[in-house]
Amino acid sequence: MVDDGEQLETIPVKAYSDKELKEFLKSRGLALTVEEAKLVAKKLGRDPTLTELWVFNIEWSEHTSYKSSRDTLKMLPTQAKNVILGPSEDSGIVELGNINGEKWGVVISHESHNHPSQVVPYEGAATGIGGDIRDVLCMGAKVVALSDPLRFGNPHGPNKNKVRYIANSVIDGIAEYGNAVGIPNIGGDVYFNDSFDENCLVNVVCLGIVKAKEIVHSYAPKNSAGHDIVIVGKATDFSGFGGASFASLVLDEKEEDSNKGAVQVPDPFLKNVLIRATYAVFDEVRKQKLDVGFKDMGAGGIMCSTSELGSSAGYGVEIDLDNVHVSISDMPPYVIACGETQERFTWVVPPEFTPTLLKIYNEDFELGNVAEGAKATVIGKIIREQDFILKHRGKLVCRAPIKEVTTGIKYSRDLKEPKTSFREPSIKEPKSFTKVLLKILSHPNVCSREKIFKHYDTSVQGNTVIAPGRADAGVIAPDEVAPYGIALSTDCNPAISRISPYWGAANAVAEAMRNVAAVGAVPAALTDCLNYSNPEVPEGFWQFVEGVKGISDAARFISRYNAGNDPVPVISGNVSFYNQSSKGKAVDPSAIISCIGILDDYSKAITMDAKKSGSMLYLLGERKNQMGGSVYYSLFNEVGTNVPTLDFGREKNMIHSVVSLIGKRLVLSCHDISDGGLAVALSEMAMLGNKGMEIDLAFSELGIEQVLFGENSGFVLEIDKGQARAVEKLLESEDVPFWRIGTTKNEAKLTVRRKKMKLIDVKLEEMDTAWRSGLPLALD
């Protein structure tokens, strides 16, 4: 134990004037405000040390403390009957099903790495993947899949060179890290617009599987006073130092070079070995029936992981920083404690298990031969006293009440609805709907994503049932949980959110659910990565609150399949604020949603490609005069104001009916309607299946543009003629609006009429050329 009488070398916070304190904080790179630094001194009852200032600088950052968003997030439905673990640890866990009498869960984490990817795109994106993998692994799970929602600037605008560089570097970083680690990438989405020119968004979703009884928690076990604290992985260095506070600041292009040091350096080959070694530790822990704690070492490094492991169990921790393996001698204690070097974990284990743990990492898997200086090391103890204690070279550099360290602070932000000038445009009816369709198919926000997917290993581990690009969601079926399948989707249209943050977020939830339903999976749980601007600006915080309201309403009112009024729970997520430039340009509000879907038999999963000629094509979901945020409007440099809205009850019935139909094997192929509208959904089904289509729009009196290119929610189903009556009967019983709109044919051509008037008549080959040209034109 540390002697209470030991002297701390403190910073005279109380004696400084506000001006002097502000200058001191800035000179040391601390993001604490003057008021926050004074509050640190007040809570400690004395002046703080420099290390203590860094501890609170990170723990009180927006990234770590959720100081602006915590109360708002309480609106989200996080509990449901299928939730094993909600958003309280590194990842959420939802029930998958019972296999041989054992309950299994799907583990999911959803994180952002936006600022790092804008400054150093390759490393920023790669380390974003690495951090999300650690979050899932730390729950005791086998890591089984990745997904990557991405947002980039305008690839054809004035900043196109930088936008293209960032986009290509991000894609390379994701690919090279994920491929080397050996985890399949099964989905994601990408949007481009000028709001992301100076702030790209790189979000990551990671999935794992675990038996419910074998979950490992990110807190110290009961009766663990005296347990060893062991860190594992790369030697601590200066890379990533200050990353958490960097993620909580407005990006300033003038400081881009100095900010690069806050971005971590990835090592996927070390991570590959660490994962396999950790699986071996899990086996030994389960064999010996031990209760342990295990946590990802991400934001805030050793300080954050150890303090949270102790505090969440009602304990304190004592760390000797001299025991930390470092790559550089003479590192300051606050860097050793708070640096965010990648590829590291923290364990809390009984002392009698420590030799086994060290042997697995250091001898059996020889971490030091994979990366110089990498190893497992004992650095401290769990203690009964609820203090966070750091020693360095025999001196005390931090002693703070551990609850004060981990609880964070909270702000009540003002909010104000911004004034906008959105209006509905007056656009003449096009002379050629065929030309319009081809333009939309080649649009960067609609075109084929093959150029991205081909970088990724989508089938490593051998469990991929539906790879990216073949359906609205990716599907895997790990051997351990067969015949169950797991579907994963990600969604959020920033153009809709620009006009209405509420409907943008609600539509993101609904589309994510539709996407997993379209492959036959039951929407089971949601995650959210909430990417917004400066919360200190009332208009920016209003957008955030509206987005959370939209998520909450959609999750509650669409609800779970065959579960009464049980919501589709939000079990994991992340808030990323300050996504704007120093000039005040903010990203479009982006509540990026991921949905986990469960298939009781993965062989029932279907894709979007049309399967045969002579099938019936059905439209589900009304077309409306709500084209705000549509790709069609963007062709004319317009945005609009009437965004797609949702009738949550009808949306619920439609999604649940599609799940039922596919579960009964009554559907040949299915595609949801979103970007580009009905015309794009039909085109993609036709192109991917190499089947022509005859379509008649006589079912609607709306304008042709609104029927073809409106982006209201819906589905297109391909149905065998022999199953048509059974399908219609089920849809009628659920009060789902539907129409027979056409048939498939062998002739490789899409023909669209309204009664006798031919609107579109185009060969699939010409459509395919346009569709596949969009991303090469945008990124090359």
CA atoms 85, 87, 90, 95: torsion sign:
positive
Q: For the purposes of burial, counting CB atoms within 10 Å of the CB of 448, is it exposed (0-12), middle (13-18) or buried (19 or more)? A: buried
Q: How far apart are CA 704 and CA 754, in angstroms?
A: 8
- Nearest C-alpha neighbor of 691 from the set 769, 748, 756: 748
Whether 28 and 50 have beta carbons less than 8 Å apart is answered as: yes
**CA 587 distance to own-chain centroid:** 17
**CA 737 distance to own-chain centroid:** 33
Alpha helices (H) along 518-647:
538-558, 631-634
Q: How far apart are CA 274 and CA 259, in angstroms?
A: 28
- Nearest C-alpha neighbor of 427 from the set 657, 140, 139, 625: 625
Q: How far apart are CA 69 and CA 75, in angstroms?
A: 11
Query: How many CB atoms lie under 10 A from the CB of residue 690?
Result: 13
Q: How far apart are CA 324 and CA 350, in angstroms?
A: 19
How are beta strands 570-576 and 616-620 bridged, if at all? unpaired
Two tokens, residue 214: 């074998």
Two tokens, residue 701: 């009196």
Q: How far apart are CA 223 and CA 225, in angstroms?
A: 6
CA atoms 312, 315, 318, 323: torsion sign:
negative
Q: Is 656 a catalytic residue?
A: no
Q: How far apart are CA 746 and CA 529, in angstroms?
A: 43
Q: In sequence order, what are the beta bridge partners of 763? A: 749
Two tokens, residue 474: 């990716």
Q: How far apart are CA 28 and CA 16, in angstroms?
A: 15
Cis peptide before 355 (omega within 30 of 0): no
Q: In sequence order, what are the beta bridge partners of 486? A: 476, 598
Whether 261 and 120 have beta carbons less than 8 Å apart is answered as: no
How are beta strands 522-531 and 570-576 bridged, if at all? parallel
Query: Per the residue annotation, which of 110, 113, 227, 392 is the catalytic one?
Result: 113
Q: In sequence order, what are the beta bridge partners of 529? A: 574, 592
Supply the DSSP symbol for 352: G
Q: Is 113 a catalytic residue?
A: yes
- Nearest C-alpha neighbor of 740 from the set 750, 751, 727: 727
Residue 340 neighbours by CB under 8 Å, 6+ apart:
239, 240, 241, 242, 243, 244, 264, 297, 298, 299, 300, 301
C-alpha distances out from residue 288 to 281, 353, 356, 360, 416, Å: 11, 9, 11, 15, 56
Query: Per the residue annotation, which of 63, 110, 227, 671 is the catalytic one?
Result: 63
Two tokens, residue 582: 């120093």
- Nearest C-alpha neighbor of 613 from the set 730, 470, 449, 764: 764
Q: In sequence order, what are the beta bridge partners of 739? A: 619
Whether 593 and 491 have beta carbons less than 8 Å apart is answered as: yes
Q: How far apart are CA 237 and CA 235, in angstroms?
A: 6
Count of all residues that appear for the chain in the document: 780
What positions carry a catalytic annotation? Answer: 63, 113
